[in-house]
Chain A
């Protein structure tokens, strides 16, 4: 086939496309609508996942968690990451690492004269985390820690209710030390938080890191976790692998968040699969609609194809013409779809979608606080996939009609009046 062929075939394909303007416009609208739905669902899905993940890692161990070797199997306080300060310095110098947080995590019993409660503690460095720590954003009363040595404790509202304490009251925290002894410390309630997640508000207590180091018998730079926060949550797997050689000398391993928060990762994966299945059905429906119109357009022109074949057009050129018509449909449909999707995406990206009226009081998914205001987020690779998917779908719908056209027998079709 020559360039001259292509010019004529493109000219014919373009004009054929507009022979039935209404049908072409309806087809383009359905392509654009499919593209819009796909972009909207994917971006809202990705936006909500990113928000959930980013919120979850703030509560938990970062996008990448650095923890002592064997801690996953036996989360005991005798396992420590050594020389955490040196490691943190190196981590903060790596491109893509937003910040880090050194923590000690463990189990403890908290008691007052009224009652006692089992709980988990997170000990943080107030100098580094006071302004960003997730729980401090949900403080109902009191304030974050003034320094890292004072025996202050911040607890959840449910626990406070159970223990019948308020800010300023004392309680006793009992745990096991690095050497395995049972140790207790007297703490004063510095604040009470309420995240809206029942278990967290009932179970979790926050402590200043140096005060707990002292209680547990840790060295100054020992920790049980370094939370690494990344600029982009999707880099977690890559970054965890990338950091593994760096953390080994510190008796530590680096794990991406899906390995730490398996339940959340599973829930997101399940939801993603559901989204993909829905989109597949949506694409199939739209594809069937496009196939129908393209096939109708071909069947209506069988006589014309018969004439073309009679005067010397080869089946290959017929296929090329019909596929070129589909190519134009795909290009225009995607341009229209892109133009329609842009403002819709902009709206959902900036204003967001408020789901609060559909949510219960406990706004958590797999133990993670769920923000009812979902903001759409699109990644370039996703956009390219959607473009590619819609394009491939439209081109595929041209295959069968092309096949039908190649079966044209002029002797039969020329009889059509």
Chain B
């Protein structure tokens, strides 16, 4: 089963009075359990593609299926439910909820899913320990470093065990040591939990670690390379 299927996907938007063709009819399939990255220069359509896959935006034409479900025609509530149940997000700017502690940020998604308190405590504690945040669970985001915040963001994305995690430039705002650590973490989650990861990135470290590297340029896929972990 494909995790993601994009067929003739186009996205055009207006920038002022100018029409920008962000994606020009791309076709892409991502299989379950892949550790893939979309790379390309700024304005190539990476983030647009990620937003469309994550049901955060709607395509101008074409279709997207996530885990076999066509996103077209879903209302806001259904899209929210879709994201909640199948997709985890890691944002470049971490985007943690500032009034919630590290623990509560990770717990939030489970809460939305209606998971019981005892189950939440068990899962959140385990994942925060796995991402190396033991002892920092009660800290608010502004009491954590950038790298620690991104770990919380990854924990939040992973804790509900989604089939797919979309990460938009996850290493862009952290130092190289932290970036390597985050990549190790995501790689382990991919291996141990079978979670599909799809990144957008400029970061050569991410490109090197990705098992599949999709290159976008001017809204078109110009290269799709499987690296097989070498």
Chain A residues engaging chain B, CB cutoff 8 angstroms: 2, 4-5, 8, 11-12, 15-16, 19, 303-304, 307-317, 409-411, 414, 417
Contact = CB atoms under 8 A, between A and B. Distances in A.
11 contacts: A5-B114, A8-B108, A307-B91, A307-B95, A310-B54, A310-B83, A311-B84, A312-B84, A312-B112, A411-B51, A414-B91
Contacts of A310: 54, 56, 83, 89
B135 interface: no
A157 B92 CA distance: 91
Contact of B56 (A8, A11, A317, A410): A410
B224 interface: no
B114 A4 contact: yes
A19 B100 CA distance: 12
A417 B99 contact: no
- By size class, the interface of chain B is 20 to 34
Q: Which 10 A-B pairs have the closest CB atoms?
A: A312-B84, A15-B99, A411-B57, A307-B95, A410-B56, A411-B56, A314-B80, A8-B111, A312-B83, A411-B51
Given A8-B108, A411-B56, A312 B80 contact: yes
**Chain A residues touching B, majority SS:** helix
Contact of A19 (B84, B88, B99): B99
Contacts of A4: 111, 114, 116-117
B185 interface: no
Contacts of A5: 111-112, 114
A315 B76 contact: yes
A11 B89 CA distance: 23
Interface of B: 51, 54, 56-57, 76-77, 80-81, 83-85, 88-89, 91, 93, 95, 97-100, 104, 107-109, 111-114, 116-117, 156-157
A115 B57 CA distance: 98
B46 to A, nearest CB: 14
Nearest to A416: B93
B217 to A, nearest CB: 22
Contact of B80 (A11, A16, A307, A313): A313
A312 B76 contact: no
Contacts of B81: 312, 314
| Best-surrounded residue of A4, A315, A317, A417 (most CB of chain B within 10 A) | A4
B165 to A, nearest CB: 11
Contacts of A312: 80-81, 83-85, 109, 112-113
A309 B112 contact: no
Nearest to A15: B99
A310 B76 CA distance: 11
Contacts of B77: 314-316
Contacts of B117: 4
Given A12-B97, A414-B95, A311 B89 contact: yes
Nearest to B93: A417
B156 to A, nearest CB: 7
B103 to A, nearest CB: 12
A15 B81 CA distance: 25
Contact of A12 (B54, B100, B156): B100
A131 B221 CA distance: 104
B36 to A, nearest CB: 20
B82 to A, nearest CB: 9
Most B CB within 10 A of own CB, among A12, A309, A310, A314: A310
A6 B93 CA distance: 28
Contacts of A16: 99
Nearest to B168: A414
Given A310-B56, A315-B76, 20 more contacts: A4-B111, A5-B114, A8-B108, A15-B100, A304-B95, A307-B95, A310-B89, A311-B83, A311-B109, A312-B84, A312-B109, A312-B112, A312-B113, A313-B112, A314-B80, A409-B57, A410-B56, A411-B56, A411-B57, A414-B91
